[in-house]
Structure 1
Amino acid sequence: MAVKKDKIRQQAMDHFIENMECTKKEVAELFGITEKTVGNWSTADDWEGKRLDYHSSPVKIKQFLQKELLSVVQGNKATLPADGISKLMSALDRCDKKADPIVVHRILKDLDNFISEEDPEFAMKCIHFHKQFLIHRINLES
């Protein structure tokens, strides 16, 4: 029984996150659960935050802008001003070319830990290069 409820909880959360216009009441009706249950799950699992992260990711924004551009190319009237699209695409392209040094550090640390579990001797050789790469990324961001 618990497995079924966990599956419903995950499906309800996924539906809410992926469908920006969907309300918690609609989720409750769709999955046959109470609004109170949806509210509890939503609070416990931060559905609102996850929804915002999902829809504001650079990938999702690019997909939205690409749909707009494709629509214009097909002869439809633009729903967004061209100047605005240009500025947004430019900003997203700049974001794609940057890597937050804190994120790079976390990834490299995770990689070092993973390698050390498999081959500690090789991991020691990698650490030097990972530190050099991190310094390189920091210098690029400055």
Structure 2
Amino acid sequence: MLQATKGGGGNNKAKKELAEKMFVEDGLNAKEIASLVGISEQTLSKWRKGDGTGKTWDDKRNEYLAAPHKIKEVLMKELNNIASGSGATIDADALAKVSKVIETLSNRTSVQVIFSVFKEFDNWMADQEPQMAIAFLEWHKRFIQYRINQED
């Protein structure tokens, strides 16, 4: 575990980044982080809430915990528990189902990304084969409209 040097002001940006990592990824509580980083719990609370323009540290922690690699980690720990003779501690079947839904949603390409890729492709194709680019352009418009209708 990393520990910041206590006292003497220090580099607040570095302390804030370290504290955020400890909170989001390591799951430490405010008291532990404040002690390790050498800041007050009040400062940590302000940092944790953010400035209102982005995600809070709690939002980031929830996303981190729901990430597929973290779900896999939880399932592997559960597998080790069961293999060592301990009983199940979580509903692994439900967790696996939720993970599958997240994976399915993550694999879906947004209309904005499709539009961006088509635009780049159309510009490239216009330099290669202008007539073919015109034909592709019409199909790209149709596909984008189809995807927009699917999302509604």
Structure 1 counterpart of 2:62, one-letter code: L
Aligned twin of 1:80: 89
Distance apart, 1:12 and its partner CA: 0.7
Quick one: distance in 2 between partners of 1:55 and 1:134? 35
Structure 1 counterpart of 2:42, one-letter code: K
> Normalized against structure 2, the TM-score is what?
0.63
Aligned mate of 2:41, from 35, 45, 55 = 35
Structure 2 counterpart of 1:35, one-letter code: E
Distance 1:54 1:131, change over 3 A: farther
Aligned mate of 1:122, from 118, 121, 124 = 124
- Secondary structure at the residue paired with 1:19? coil
- Secondary structure at the residue paired with 1:92? helix
Aligned twin of 1:105: 111
Distance apart, 1:13 and its partner CA: 0.4
Quick one: distance in 1 between partners of 2:69 and 2:142? 29
Alignment RMSD: 3.8
Structure 2 counterpart of 1:95, one-letter code: I
Distance apart, 1:28 and its partner CA: 1.1
Structure 2 counterpart of 1:91, one-letter code: V
Quick one: distance in 2 between partners of 1:34 and 1:79? 39
- What percentage of residue pairs aligned between the two structures are identical? 21
Deviates further, 5-14 or 63-72: 63-72
> Normalized against structure 1, the TM-score is what?
0.66
Aligned twin of 1:69: 79
Distance apart, 1:111 and its partner CA: 4.1
- Secondary structure at the residue paired with 2:88? coil
Asked if the contact 1:104/1:134 (under 8 Å) is kept, the reply is no
Quick one: distance in 2 between partners of 1:44 and 1:123? 45
Distance apart, 1:123 and its partner CA: 7.0
State how many pairs are aligned. 131
Distance apart, 1:121 and its partner CA: 1.7
Asked if the contact 1:18/1:51 (under 8 Å) is kept, the reply is yes
Aligned mate of 2:143, from 132, 137, 140 = 132
Aligned twin of 1:56: 66
Deviates further, 32-41 or 54-63: 54-63
Structure holding more helix per residue: 1
Asked if the contact 1:105/1:134 (under 8 Å) is kept, the reply is no
Unpaired segments ≥5 residues, structure 2: 1-9, 127-132
Structure 1 counterpart of 2:19, one-letter code: A
